[in-house]
Amino acid sequence: MSDLTYKLEVFEGPMDLLLHLISKHKLNINDIPIVELVNQYLDYVRQMEEADFDVAGDFLEMAARLIYIKTVSLLPKHEEAEKLKKELTGELIEYRDCKLMAEKLSKQTDGFGRFVREPQGGWVNYDYERFHEGEELLQAYVNAAGKAMRKLPPPIDSFKVIVAKKFVNVASKVRTVMRKLWSGKKVKFTSLFEGAQSKSDLVATFLAVLELAKTKRITIEGDMVNPEVQMVNNVNEAEIFNEVDTVE
């Protein structure tokens, strides 16, 4: 088992595994016998699963691809299969080349023993003295953030309000929420927010509820207008707090 795990760990991904199989079974990389390769590949993936190895999505994706190629090659007209095979062959050769080049590179690392020094500082004035148009900045910003700027996180200015106020800790709210649920009875969702002293308090409470629901400590039932919350049985208090602390 450990031997197997060791072998499995070697592969950098599905391409690596394919190359290994091709060489191990002396298959012709330029004319891959696809049926044979699919079987070998799936065998391996199965072994990985048996070894309790976390089979990465990449491997499964490749498995699906191979099976698809095999399927279409069974059709009477299998031009598509030929095309797909050619594509795969091209990729495999490219990756094989990449590995060979990587190996060559890894053998000439003498230069890693040469050390350089930091530029001499101190008495040189490095102040920037060129002039630019504001438009160049705009262009750079759009390049960096994308035209829609959709993925931009909020700038720091928007944190200022929160930072200035007392920050309400989500973990502490988990305790508050659980205290209200400890009896085991169903509780109105909105009642969890009673006694909240600030917006930040409300938000932290809400996040605490989400966190508890995510880790399946509580259940939320009912309609959107008036949901009810209940604690799941047999929940250990210490366990929850540990978990939430690490989440934070």
42-61: which residues touch other proteins (CB under 8 A)? Answer: 56, 58
Member of 9, 52, 76, 111 binding other proteins (CB under 8 A): 111
Member of 102, 191, 195, 221 binding other proteins (CB under 8 A): 102
Q: What are phi and psi of 113, to 5 degrees?
A: -90, 5
Least CB distance to other proteins at residue 16 (A)? 7
d(CA 120, CA 157) in angstroms, rounded, equals 37
Please tell me whether residue 28 binds other proteins under the rule CB under 8 A: yes
Please tell me whether residue 9 binds other proteins under the rule CB under 8 A: no
By the 10 Å C-beta count (0-12 exposed, 13-18 middle, 19+ buried), 171 is classed as middle
Alpha helices by DSSP H, listed for 154-218, are 160-164, 170-181, 199-214
Please tell me whether residue 226 binds other proteins under the rule CB under 8 A: no
Q: Which is nearer to other proteins, 15 or 37 (CB)?
A: 15
Please tell me whether residue 75 binds other proteins under the rule CB under 8 A: no
Least CB distance to other proteins at residue 93 (A)? 6
Please tell me whether residue 207 binds other proteins under the rule CB under 8 A: yes
Member of 52, 54, 76, 108 binding other proteins (CB under 8 A): 108
Q: H or E segment at 69?
A: helix 57-73
C-alpha distance from residue 60 to each of 4, 51, 131 (Å): 19, 16, 54
Taking CB under 8 A as the rule, which mask of x and - marks residues 140-169 in contact with other proteins? xxxxxxxxxxx-xxxxxxxx-xxx------
164-203: which residues touch other proteins (CB under 8 A)? Answer: 170, 199-200, 202-203
Please tell me whether residue 82 binds other proteins under the rule CB under 8 A: no
Member of 109, 183, 197, 236 binding other proteins (CB under 8 A): 109
Handedness of CA 95, 101, 107, 112 (dihedral sign): negative
By the 10 Å C-beta count (0-12 exposed, 13-18 middle, 19+ buried), 139 is classed as exposed
Member of 9, 54, 129, 194 binding other proteins (CB under 8 A): 129
Q: Which is nearer to other proteins, 1 or 105 (CB)?
A: 105
Q: How many residues bind other proteins (CB under 8 A)?
A: 97
Please tell me whether residue 214 binds other proteins under the rule CB under 8 A: no
Q: H or E segment at 228?
A: strand 228-231
CA-only gyration radius of the chain, Å: 29
By the 10 Å C-beta count (0-12 exposed, 13-18 middle, 19+ buried), 200 is classed as middle
